[in-house]
Amino acid sequence: SSELTQDPAVSVALGQTVRITCQGDSLRSYYASWYQQKPGQAPVLVIYGKNNRPSGIPDRFSGSSSGNTASLTITGAQAEDEADYYCNSRDSSGNHLGVVFGGGTKLTVL
């Protein structure tokens, strides 16, 4: 199956901009979606498709993609954005309707 690679940990100063990346061959064919997970809680969808935010997600969250890399950008990070972030996409390896998740990135807001 395909793999999606994320940096294990990223930090950002309060109010600054941070980019979290996700790399994988499947991203050449499919958009990534992004999820935020806080301790003890279920994941929450924050970005999907080309750059779409579900209702209730602040507009400081945005998504982009180039080649085999998808990115989640938080512009003006807030303390409440400290969480684990996961990307996912379709699995392009042959199991065409399978799904693959990245390993997750722990975001620390300093």
For residue 48, the minimal CB distance to other proteins (Å) is: 3
The reply to whether 44 sits near other proteins by the rule CB under 8 A is: yes
Q: Which residues, 6+ apart, have CB-to-CB distance to 80 below 8 Å?
A: none
At residue 96, the 3 state secondary structure works out as coil
Q: How far is the CB of 60 from other proteins (least distance, A)?
A: 19
Amino acid at 67: G
Query: Least distance from C-beta 109 to other proteins, angstroms?
Result: 20
β-strands 9-12, 105-109: how paired? parallel
- Of residues 49 and 58, the one with the C-beta less far from other proteins: 49
